[in-house]
Amino acid sequence: MGIGKSFKKATKSIKKSTKKVTKGVSDAAKKGADAVSDAAEKGVDAVEKGAREAERIGTRAAAIADSAYDDALRLGEAAWNETIAALDRWLTDGLMEILLAAAEAVVGRSGALIDAMVAGGRALLADPKAAAEFERVVVAAAGKQMEAGAQEAMRSLVRRPELRAVADRAGQFATLSLGLAGSAAYGAGAEGCFGYAARMPDATVIGGFYGVGGVAISVGASTTAQLGVWSPRPADLKGPYFAVTVEAEVQGGGGVQVIFALPTDEAGWLALVSGKTEPSPVGLVVFLGGGGELSASVSGGYTWVF
């Protein structure tokens, strides 16, 4: 079995959907979903143009990533298998409910931030200059390269007014990521993502990342533009995580996901599954494109940095 099939099979085995949410949690998620829809409705043309541009860029970048990450993914298989083993052991229905409730609460109180992320991402993809800079960033990341020109493009993007608006609302999430994600992120290989991350508001610190699993939307051989905000610095994005997708659909295709770090030891897992400790979010991600109906789900992933 090739590495791509191995990673894909494992990803599907740990992605679990659930519809069991309380009314309070559902209402909180709906507020977040309304904010996402409102942002998208303000620029339907931008949504359509951006989706086409993201698809074009994604096709080119995935073809590069297909070969660039082959050896890296093989070397990372041991860490991924450890993640799978932990999730197979601990990700019960009860823990899914805890994580989903926590994620939907985050979305419910983050309407202004999500609004800014969706609007900012759509605006970048619809603007020719910004789309060219985004392409330079993700193509360099697809080749696993920290290229000087791509870093300058990332700085330019982060400093644009559309993403300054994200920085103004991000609070604890002071790192911004731009990338591509989906079932075609590595060509015909593993489902995942790659891109650049930068510290806001001036992008003085920039790093590259790639990961497997944890994709909100995976429809056929497609990639979606991904914009995320994170509490860790770019170099600290590495490691295993829970990816919790909520039913807050982005108009025109896309979704919202909250990221939580996995516990580092058995005591941490026991405290989490028993409810003694509450899950703390480390990231919030919007996916701009991809289509497909979203359902509330919990999955696992692993991120490496370069």
Q: What is the pLDDT of residues 251-276, one digit of tens each?
A: 656 789 999 999 999 999 999 999 99
- Give the residues across from 193 on adjacent strands: 181, 211
CB 69 within 8 A of CB 144: yes
Classify residue 73 as exposed, middle or buried by CB count within 10 Å of its CB (0-12, 13-18, 19+): buried
Tokens standing for residue 48? 């359509």
The model's pLDDT over 169-205, given as tens digits with 9 standing for 90+, comes to: 999 999 999 999 988 899 877 889 999 999 999 999 9
**Average of pLDDT values for 27-46?**
51
Q: φ, ψ for residue 237 (rounded to 5)?
A: -75, -10
| Cα gap 234→206, rounded to integer Å | 6
Higher pLDDT, 206 or 55: 206
pLDDT at 32: 45
Q: How confident is the model at residue 126 (pLDDT cuts 50, 70, 90)?
A: very high
CA distances, 125 to each of 48, 102, 159, 302 (Å): 10, 31, 15, 27
Residue spans of the domains in the chain: they are 23-305
Percent share of the chain, pLDDT over 90? 64
Rounded Cα distance, 61 and 137, in Å = 10
pLDDT score for 143: 97
Rounded Cα gap, residues 244 and 214, in angstroms: 8
The model's pTM is: 0.88
Backbone angles phi, psi at 157, to 5 degrees: -65, -45
Neighbour count for residue 97 (Cβ, 10 Å): 16
- Check residues 279 and 32 and name the one with the higher pLDDT: 279
Lowest mean pLDDT among 76-80, 187-191, 201-205, 291-295: 291-295
Average pLDDT value for residue range 225-241: 97
Give the residue from 151, 126, 101, 65 showing the smallest Cα distance to 289: 126
Q: Is the pLDDT of residue 219 over 90?
A: no
With cut-offs at 50, 70 and 90, classify the pLDDT of residue 20.
Answer: very low
